[in-house]
Structure 1
Amino acid sequence: MDVGCHPGGGFTSQDVDGANNPPGTKLVRSYMLVPALGEETRYTLQVEGHEPLRVVCSGEEGEIEESPDKSRLAFWCGEKQWRVVYKVKDKLIEECPPYPMGGTLDWSVAKDFKTKAPELVRCTSFSNVSRLYRQVATESELSRFFVQSFGMTERIGANKDIIYWDDDWLNELVASSESIQGQVREGLKVRFSRPDSTVDASALTALLSTIGASTETEPLLHSIFLRTVAQEPRAHSLAPALAWVHHRLGDAAATRYACEAMDLHSLQAPGLLLLARSQKPCESFDGYVASKLDEPSLLCNPHIQCKGAECEVAYRITEPLPHQLTQAEWDQVVVLAAVQRKQVPAWFPRAIRRRDYVLEMPQSLACAAAKPGTPCACDVKVCEQVGPEAGRTPMGCKLAFDDKRRRIRVLAP
């Protein structure tokens, strides 16, 4: 072991104690003095002929062993929990945690690099694993790697609720030969034809894009989409998948997908827009629209106007279909849908017209002192009180609507 000071406050390193390490291998502990933070300790696994690999340890003891075929190492440091490292050309890549080998070293559990590679994308980027895999794999093996690694995600946080999809998967596939792309496409069809095969919403659009839209594949795409919605109905990442369906399969298919997503309680902006523009029956969407028509924000939306019994929306949502809508845009979609699908109830046009009535609210008496039925000075936002039930009583006051004179009187209760 060699310990000493470097200029500038850094420290040299020392080998981690371990008996009988294979020749040319060692764990090294390095000390650095970080200004304002104190001392930082780092560990690296050094293997002759390979780039050093940084590892995380919790103590000052460790051990290294080499597999019989010399393609893998297993080491532990701090706690005797064996961890596997693969030697690929001049690189080292560590197995993902949690490490399955426990305190007993068993090489039959630590599969070879080609077998484990699809899972390794969980703990590093796809491109890192792919770059190593391409150096040791045949074309058919590379195709299987794409199929098996699809949808592998990294979940972050205590509740594992943040899903990460690595776009390098699709980018590298597109850059591959047509032969590999064809093999991957067929492999994914087989894999996701199984009814128990699911995919994270974040990877759904990439899967649909890879399989491709055709008369033959549409039933499979439909099944995959609904399985994903059922699994993650409120995932924001479902929206681009539905937009892809709309672009590749057309209005009819996308509207059908959107209605079935609504049945599964998925409220995605592209789906609501598609259904709002359509006259095709969708019971769950019609119920959603009916439940929202008397929302105060909607009744106060200036882009919604009614003349006589006819209503219209100043509709400004443009293509491509947005993934998120503002509250005002949600309101406009609801009314647009009600108008398009002929669901506007009789009270609605009258309520919208009442927003422009003259408000009669003398300021001479306070509500608390006013006799019942006399005008009083209440703070009333009229548009929030013009819904289906005439004469709502906000803040203890009552509204009396005079539709003939187009006036509203505010009365004590």
Structure 2
Amino acid sequence: MTGLAGGAMLAITLGGCFTSQEVDGADSPPGTKLVRSYQLVPGLGDETLYTLRAEGYEPLRVTCSKGEGKIAESPDKSRLAFWCGESKWRVVYKVKGKLLEECPPYAMGSTLNWGAAKDFKAAAPELVRCTRFSNVSQLYRQVATEAELREFFVQSFGMTERIGANKDVVYWDDAWLNELFAASESFQRQVREGLKVRFSRPGSVVDASALTALLSMLGATKETEPLLHSLFLRTVAQEPRAHSLASAMAWVHHKLGDAVATRYACEAMALHSLHAPGLLLLARSQKPCESFDDYVASALNEPSLLCNPHIQCKGTECEVAYRITEPMPHELTQAEWEQVVVLAAVQRKQVPAWFPRAIRRREYVVEMPQSPSCTEAKPGTPCACQVKVCEQVGPTAEQTLVGCTLKFDDKGRRIQVLAP
């Protein structure tokens, strides 16, 4: 390999310096080259760009980590492969005047092997992970039959692949739905049937951002409900974005009703998934849900919850100024989350004995002088302490903190701040 071969061009661009060099070497197929461009703009810094060029095709911007490169062409001349210092060759598809690079992880290894690389038709459903669906579909329509186009729609829907530790990659493109609805009724019907077959396979996973669209496509019937249930739980297991899961839960609630949606929500909680619609459904329900009951019991111990003014208790009875209305929100504020927790505890009869007393203690008179500070006062004497009293009102009879002690007088409805 010759590396950094070819002549260099020098020009003035935007008041800066611009150079361009071929880096693919002398053995590239005719009419192809990999070009490195370097631009220095005073005051703005510098940038190095790599472009793959093939005669008769629009240039393709690519990424390279090193200043060297190779290009090869497939025996059928439908694909290029390039290497620029990384460990793997990367495939580029030549389709109707366009160049499309394959999505990572790359199919070919460090050795050039065309047998390991798919052709454009086989790779097209996966290309929507890194190229807009409309871009891929426009090219695919020009080389495929109608039957192949329908299969392309089925296979490209919500295409997802987890790469490394990244568990939150979203590939869903709304153009998929727009293009499908522009097609004939018979085409749409056959795509729906294909989706049922694809997602009935246990190993088939849908991206969370596309889940609501898929549920809508499959439709809520007695026949499809087991499949919808399976899809929902598979998606929860992927640790998706809460917003995407909340949207799907809202759809289930609207189409399948309270009972089914509450069951879905409980199962999601068991998989450690928290989302606003599910929490609201469970909070309103009295149906057993062990994972949710455990969650509520733990959340009641959060100190900030005791300061929420919308939570009130008289005697042993507690109530919540419940202000969350339909449609169900995708996210809850901290104050709303606190209200939902207490609402659930009241509804499910989980309010612990100490909680009403703690809430009532917020109304006690706090006896705390302005001086001396508790770090200077004698032990057991009144003092001034930097403490948010409402966060410390329960459940113990006396609360020793860093810097001071709170002594509760429940008969006299007083709280004394003392030096520890």
The TM-score range, normalised by the shorter chain, is: 0.7 to 0.9
Aligned twin of 2:292? 285
Residue type of the alignment partner of 1:165? Y
Superposed displacement of residue 117, structure 1: 0.8
CA contact (8 A) 2:68 2:85 kept: yes
Superposed displacement of residue 206, structure 1: 2.7
CA distance in 2 between counterparts of 1:61 and 1:103 reads 13
CA contact (8 A) 1:154 1:164 kept: no
- Aligned positions, number: 406
Correspondent of 2:126 among 119, 127, 150: 119
CA contact (8 A) 1:400 1:410 kept: no
Aligned twin of 2:156? 149
Correspondent of 1:351 among 347, 358, 365: 358
CA distance in 1 between counterparts of 2:229 and 2:87 reads 48
Residue type of the alignment partner of 2:41? P
Task: Map Cα deviations across residues 159-198 of structure 1 (whole Å, 9 max, x no partner).
Answer: 4344123323333333333223222222222222222322
Aligned twin of 1:321? 328
Aligned twin of 2:53? 45
1:237 aligns with 2:228: no
Residue type of the alignment partner of 2:107? P
CA distance in 2 between counterparts of 1:104 and 1:4 reads 32
Task: Map Cα deviations across residues 66-87 of structure 1 (whole Å, 9 max, x no partner).
Answer: 423x433344456795443322
Superposed displacement of residue 258, structure 1: 0.6
Superposed displacement of residue 336, structure 1: 1.1
Superposed displacement of residue 301, structure 1: 0.7
CA distance in 2 between counterparts of 1:383 and 1:132 reads 64
Farther-moved stretch of structure 1 (238-247 vs 375-384): 375-384
CA distance in 2 between counterparts of 1:11 and 1:35 reads 12
Partner of 1:169, secondary structure, is helix
Superposed displacement of residue 351, structure 1: 2.1
Task: Map Cα deviations across residues 106-140 of structure 1 (whole Å, 9 max, x no partner).
Answer: 43333321111112222322221111112222222
Identity over aligned pairs, percent = 69
TM-score of the superposed pair, with normalisation by structure 1:
0.85
Farther-moved stretch of structure 1 (362-371 vs 133-142): 362-371
Name the Cα RMSD after superposition: 3.1
Task: Map Cα deviations across residues 287-335 of structure 1 (whole Å, 9 max, x no partner).
Answer: 2222222322111111111233332212222222222222211111111
Correspondent of 1:389 among 388, 392, 396: 396
The alpha-carbon distance between structure 1 residues 349 and 75, as it changes in their structure 2 partners (threshold 3 A), is closer
1:26 aligns with 2:32: yes
CA distance in 2 between counterparts of 1:146 and 1:115 reads 13
The alpha-carbon distance between structure 1 residues 375 and 17, as it changes in their structure 2 partners (threshold 3 A), is closer
Aligned twin of 2:101? 94
CA contact (8 A) 1:18 1:61 kept: no
The alpha-carbon distance between structure 1 residues 296 and 98, as it changes in their structure 2 partners (threshold 3 A), is closer
Aligned twin of 2:314? 307
1:107 aligns with 2:114: yes
CA contact (8 A) 2:266 2:292 kept: yes
Please list every run of at least 4 consecutive aligned residues from structure 1 whose deviation after the TM superposition is greater than 6 angstroms: 363-366
CA distance in 1 between counterparts of 2:397 and 2:251 reads 45
Aligned twin of 1:163? 169
TM-score of the superposed pair, with normalisation by structure 2:
0.84
Correspondent of 1:67 among 75, 88, 93: 75
Partner of 1:392, secondary structure, is strand
CA distance in 1 between counterparts of 2:60 and 2:373 reads 77
Correspondent of 1:270 among 271, 274, 277: 277
In structure 2, the gaps of 5 or more residues are 1-5
CA distance in 2 between counterparts of 1:412 and 1:74 reads 75
CA distance in 1 between counterparts of 2:152 and 2:68 reads 37
CA distance in 2 between counterparts of 1:151 and 1:120 reads 12
Aligned twin of 2:195? 188
CA distance in 2 between counterparts of 1:407 and 1:15 reads 80
CA contact (8 A) 2:404 2:417 kept: no
In structure 1, the gaps of 5 or more residues are none
Task: Map Cα deviations across residues 37-67 of structure 1 (whole Å, 9 max, x no partner).
Answer: 457453332223x323334454455343342
Superposed displacement of residue 28, structure 1: 5.0
CA contact (8 A) 1:234 1:266 kept: no
Residue type of the alignment partner of 2:279? L
CA distance in 1 between counterparts of 2:370 and 2:40 reads 70
Farther-moved stretch of structure 1 (108-117 vs 214-223): 108-117
CA contact (8 A) 1:391 1:401 kept: no
CA distance in 1 between counterparts of 2:108 and 2:133 reads 24
Aligned twin of 1:399? 407
CA contact (8 A) 1:269 1:323 kept: yes
CA distance in 2 between counterparts of 1:3 and 1:384 reads 69
Farther-moved stretch of structure 1 (112-121 vs 102-111): 102-111
CA contact (8 A) 1:358 1:406 kept: yes
1:227 aligns with 2:227: no
Superposed displacement of residue 90, structure 1: 2.3
CA contact (8 A) 2:23 2:68 kept: no
